[in-house]
Structure 1
């Protein structure tokens, strides 16, 4: 596709001020926040892990992970998202490392991580398969890749581009679990699928589309 990174970043910069108004983005409701705390603790147990949150947005999940005792790095294309993530950590008195850059090719240099987390990002990427390979390559032996994704458009529905340059995204509107797991399986040692559409607390209410997490070990 003819991607326009500036336009994509502009879209998410403009979205940043209202981003946390979505219940599962801002985690302002105690029930929603607790639901994500419990899920993350189950997927990424223990403490003191080096974690990379790609497409971290305003840092809500990163903050939960830091509160659980992990060392967190976040990457997002939109500087306005990164500014809000840094502000959340500062307000909480917690340390976090945040970088502005392409989440599909994180600008993390030679750093390696115990886990890489991605939530509702792959549908925005021009080459999600290449991104999955890049994320797996950033993991230490035995590391985990946690993808929280979904398909929030009807199959076959026309998907309007959300920003200039997003006209031909391969997974626009989300990606079915069967598609994502088929692409990911050859890249990892083992893989578990966790359906999430029946857990309204995670989303701030009932949902009527496909929501799931994939936890892969490398």
Structure 2
């Protein structure tokens, strides 16, 4: 693990106790939970499908996918996040596999999946282009890549660094839909952008920055 990766894991381990306080993280409000469940139903293949949730955090989206009948594998660099995800699904009576590891190179061996999901992850990866190639390589023919990303105004306003060394990350502060679609076109078929900033139910509030999902097939 590099020094930056260790710092990132430490950052998210420390963030775990309050992580789910954000409406779109914990999905505690019924309206927000239902909004994400609707989107995931639209993006995912028919259930049951094998789904890889990279950078799964505390497992809120993994739980929604498991509730929809999918077989979920979650990967996150922060052990505290993985511990919370395991506890969350167990408490809800659902099974999933959660592994501590680098989301950019998921430690899933030769397994392939019907869907790879990443939410708000590319901006913290030192080499996002390599991660995109690896994720598409984990998809079965016809599989779906779903990337929930954006350009967050609050990131641009902050004077506090994410972690030591993060200022050099290529996508610090997010990535725009046009840029991400361009990076993906050599790897996938017909990347489709779905704008999400106009749906306050997803975020628990009104937002005025760029938020979107990019959905594509291999």
**TM-score (norm: length of structure 1):** 0.96
CA distance in 2, matches of 1:81, 1:178: 31
Structure 2 equivalent of residue 196 of structure 1: 196
User: Which residue pairs with 2:116 in the alignment?
Assistant: 116
Aligned match of 2:93: 93
CA contact (8 A) 1:52 1:116 kept: yes
Q: Is the 8 A contact 1:153 1:174 kept in 2?
A: no
Report if the CA contact (8 A) 1:159-1:173 is conserved: no
The Cα of 1:4 is off from its aligned counterpart by 1.9
Aligned length: 217
Q: How do residues 137-216 of structure 1 correspond to structure 2 at under 5 angstroms?
A: 137-153=137-153, 160-216=160-216
Structure 1, unaligned stretches of length 5 or more?
none
Q: Deviations over 1:151-199 (max 9, x none)?
A: 0038986875301131201000111111111101111122111011100
Partner of 1:30: 30
Aligned to 1:212, what secondary structure does the other structure show? strand
Q: Output the aligned Cα RMSD.
A: 1.6
Deviating beyond 2 angstroms after TM superposition, the runs of 4 or more aligned structure 1 residues are 153-161
Counterpart in the other structure of 2:51: 51
2: CA distance, partners of 1:207 / 1:121: 19
Is the CA contact 1:3–1:166 (under 8 Å) kept in the aligned structure 2?
A: no
Task: Name the residue aligned to 1:21.
Answer: 21
Gaps of 5+ in 2: none
Q: Tell me the secondary structure at the aligned position of residue 110 of structure 2.
A: coil
Secondary structure at 1:4 match in 2: helix
Moved more, 41-50 or 99-108: 41-50
Is residue 114–residue 144 contact of structure 1 (8 Å, CA) maintained in 2? yes
